[in-house]
């Protein structure tokens, strides 16, 4: 479908048809990962604040024109976007099972769109590249670097650069682990408190303590030919020590000690593992991957407790509600299924996206909200206290690199990967005491 041109001060006759692949992508990894950094002053001029958005400016700074409106382009996107599927399935039967929920609620308000913070994606199915350890500390992946952004100081800094072999700070690791590691294409990452762990496209794992110089650990944790590190989980074991859990394409889930980086467990499954989530009590894990069925397994042994049946394609996301009773799985069949550990014979509910696969899931730490991100354009925020029947739909354009709530639940960050309109979007939780916003 040929999309009409529009004119603006910044671009001379931009044709959406020519730019669609790089500007608004498809769920096939057709993104330009070598995005260019704008000049600081130019980037600030391109940023959008809440005040500007209230006055009519597009939150992403897209200069819509009279000939081609946002509404028309949204309609075209919904018709043309091709969701990636590994398995064919009937949409009609699935639609009948999905829960009808109310849209239009406002749980989080737009605050800022930062255009200089352009996320990049290495693997189009892996979208866990945005993490907030506080409302004022956000981490994102850009090319071969992990950047830190402070919304308070409005400053960005580089915390990890894996463009060349990162020699471990601890000399005991240098000889045995850094050999054979070139630059790392970061496929996934996780940040919790002072620990950052990045997973690589060739099975690497790079760990850095944020309050210490250098890299603490760098190694290929698997040498399988198809060895992508798909997901990383950082959690505290029931006895207290911090653990790392990795999900890899070699069908193995590995558990590491976060201090010594010794392998404490290897759980082998029958298919590539795309994501794992550890329950709040650290006794169970959800395991999903290249299979229509997911698993609930014992966190200490990896032994399967229950099989999760219902999805029609491969899953790439999972998350636990803080109460430890409900968990969610996201699938390429465009749905998120909710499960109750007390009855796993079938899913509790099915929530459907608008455009494509559900590639990221996050609960707020107070359990009030769940965010569900599609590969592009849509993030849905559900009110768990209303039985997931009410939602806010955040409507944007571009591939979504990841989503993250701040631990205090006050902020939601969304990474957009695009060469032109890539950015970091910040939303703040709506409160009755609006006067407090003036102090933030």
The Cα–Cα gap between 156 and 319 comes to: 29
Q: What is the three-class DSSP state of 329?
A: strand
* Average pLDDT value over all residues in the chain: 87
HSE-CB for 124 with a 13 A CA cutoff = 19
Task: Report the predicted TM-score, pTM, of the whole model to 2 decimal places.
Answer: 0.88
Model pLDDT, residue 25: 53
Which residue, among 388, 351, 353, 352, has the nearest Cα to 367 in the 3D structure?
A: 388
CB-CB contact of 120 with 127 (8 Å): no
Closest listed residue to residue 181, CA positions, set 239, 123, 229, 240: 229
Which residue, 166, 124, 111, is CA-closest to 423? 111
273 pLDDT more than 60 = yes
Alpha-carbon distance 217 to 242, whole Å? 15
Per-residue pLDDT band for 179 (boundaries 50, 70, 90) equals: very low
Q: Per the structure block, which two tokens stand in for 71?
A: 């509404």
Look at residue 93 in the predicted model and tell me its pLDDT: 79
* 8 Å CB contact between 30 and 376: no
If you average pLDDT over residues 402-418, what whole number do you get? 97
Model confidence at 27, pLDDT cuts 50, 70, 90, reads: low
Residues 6+ apart with CB under 8 A from 54: none
CA distance 362 to 321: 9
Nearest CA among 376, 272, 273, 388 for reference residue 327: 388
CA 339 to chain centre: 21
> How many CA atoms are closer than 13 Å to the CA of 387, on its beta-carbon side?
5
Q: Tokens 């599927």 sit at which residue?
A: 85
Tell me if 59 sits within 8 A of 113, measured CB to CB: yes
- Does the pLDDT at position 186 exceed 80? yes
What does the pLDDT look like over 258-268, one tens digit per residue?
999 999 999 99
Query: pLDDT-derived band of residue 328, with 50, 70 and 90 as boundaries?
Result: very high
Question: What pLDDT is stored for residue 40 in this prediction?
Answer: 55
Give the model's pLDDT for residue 15.
39
The DSSP element (H or E) to which 85 belongs, if any, is none
Which range, of 99-103, 188-192, 197-201, 320-324, averages the lowest pLDDT?
Answer: 99-103
337 vs 131: CA distance, rounded Å: 23
In terms of Cα–Cα distance, which of 315, 268, 269 is closest to 291? 315
Strands (E), 353-439: 360-363, 369-373, 376-383, 391-405, 411-417, 423-429
354-375: pLDDT as tens digits: 999 999 999 999 999 999 999 9
Average pLDDT over residues 154-161: 94
| pLDDT tens-digit series, residues 371-388 | 999 999 999 999 999 999
Give the pLDDT confidence score for residue 239 in this predicted structure: 85
3-state secondary structure of 332: coil
**130: nearest Cα among 409, 413, 330:** 413
Per-residue pLDDT tens over the stretch 190-217: 999 899 999 999 999 999 999 999 899 9
**How far, in Å, CA of 209 to CA of 259, rounded?**
10
Number of residues in the chain:
440
Give CA 114 to chain center in angstroms. 17
Report the pLDDT value the prediction gives residue 433, as an integer from 0 to 100: 58
Model confidence at 44, pLDDT cuts 50, 70, 90, reads low
Is the pLDDT at 38 greater than 90? The verdict is no
Beta bridge partners of 158: 147
Cα 44 to Cα 212: distance, rounded to the nearest angstrom: 31
Phi, psi for 317 (deg, rounded to 5): -150, 150
Residues whose CB falls within 8 Å of the CB of residue 439, separated by 6 or more in sequence, listed in order:
none
Q: Are 392 and 403 in contact (CB under 8 A)?
A: no
Distance CA 437, CA 297 (A): 43
Those residues whose C-beta lies under 8 Å from the C-beta of residue 181, and which sit 6 or more positions away, are 165, 166, 204, 218, 219, 220
């Amino acid at each position: 479908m040929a999309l009409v041109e529009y004119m603006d001060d910044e671009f001379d006759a931009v044709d959406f048809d020519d730019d669609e692949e790089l500007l608004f992508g498809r769920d096939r990894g057709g993104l330009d990962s070598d995005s260019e950094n704008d000049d600081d002053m130019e980037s600030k001029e391109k940023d959008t604040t809440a005040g500007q958005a209230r006055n009519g400016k597009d939150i992403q700074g897209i200069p819509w024109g009279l000939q081609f409106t946002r509404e028309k382009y949204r309609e075209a996107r919904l018709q043309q976007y091709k969701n990636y599927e590994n398995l064919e399935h009937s949409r009609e039967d699935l639609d009948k099972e999905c829960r009808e929920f109310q849209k239009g609620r406002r749980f989080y308000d737009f605050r800022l769109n930062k255009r200089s913070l352009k996320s990049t994606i290495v693997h189009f199915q892996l979208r866990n590249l945005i993490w907030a350890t506080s409302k004022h500390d956000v981490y994102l992946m850009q090319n071969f670097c992990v950047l830190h952004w402070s919304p308070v100081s409005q400053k960005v800094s580089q915390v990890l650069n894996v463009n060349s072999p990162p020699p471990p700070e601890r000399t005991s690791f240098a000889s045995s682990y850094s050999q054979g590691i070139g630059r790392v294409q970061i496929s996934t990452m996780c940040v919790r408190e002072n620990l950052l762990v990045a997973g690589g496209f060739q099975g690497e794992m790079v760990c850095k303590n944020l309050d210490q110089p250098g890299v603490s650990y760098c190694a290929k944790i698997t040498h399988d030919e198809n060895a992508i590190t798909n997901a990383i989980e950082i959690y505290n074991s029931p006895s207290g020590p911090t653990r790392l859990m990795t999900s890899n394409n070699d069908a193995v889930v590995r558990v590491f000690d976060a201090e010594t980086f010794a392998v404490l467990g290897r759980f082998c499954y029958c298919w590539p593992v795309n994501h794992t989530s550890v329950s709040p009590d650290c006794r169970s894990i959800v395991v999903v991957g290249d299979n229509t069925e997911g698993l609930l397994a014992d966190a200490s042994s990896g032994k399967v407790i229950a099989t999760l049946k219902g999805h029609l394609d491969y899953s790439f996301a999972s998350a636990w509600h803080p109460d430890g009773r409900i968990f969610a799985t996201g699938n390429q069949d465009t749905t998120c299924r909710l499960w109750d550990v007390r009855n796993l014979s079938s899913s509790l509910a099915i929530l459907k996206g608008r455009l494509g696969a559900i590639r990221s899931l996050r609960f707020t730490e107070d359990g009030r909200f769940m965010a569900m991100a599609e590969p592009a354009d849509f993030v849905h925020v559900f009110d768990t206290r209303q039985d997931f029947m009410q939602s806010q739909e955040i409507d944007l354009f571009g591939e979504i690199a990841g989503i993250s709530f701040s631990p205090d639940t006050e902020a939601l960050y969304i990474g957009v990967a695009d060469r032109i309109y890539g950015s970091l979007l910040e939303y703040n939780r709506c409160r009755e005491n609006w006067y407090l916003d003036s102090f933030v």
